[in-house]
Amino acid sequence: MTREEKERQQKEEAQQKIIDLAKMLKNLNIPIEQIIEKTGLSKEEIEKL
């Protein structure tokens, strides 16, 4: 695996962790505004979860 592939894989894994966190926060009924603040995801991205 090349360095670029490793970096891409790490970025994908980090993004998946952010999505998983947002799902968990949403399931805990945390306000979307706070989820946006904590994850950097857009309102639309969070609403799709």
Q: What is the pLDDT of residue 22?
A: 98
Q: What is the pLDDT of residue 23?
A: 98
Count of structural domains within the chain: 1
Q: What are phi and psi of 40, to 5 degrees?
A: 80, 0
Q: Is the dihedral of CA 46, 39, 12, 16 positive or negative?
A: negative
What pLDDT, in 10s, does the model give residues 8-41? 999 999 999 999 999 999 999 999 999 999 999 9
Report CA-CA distances (Å) from 38 to 5, 13, 14, 20, 43: 27, 17, 14, 12, 12
Q: What is the pLDDT of residue 32?
A: 97
Q: What is the pLDDT of residue 1?
A: 87
- Domain span at residue 31 reads 3-47
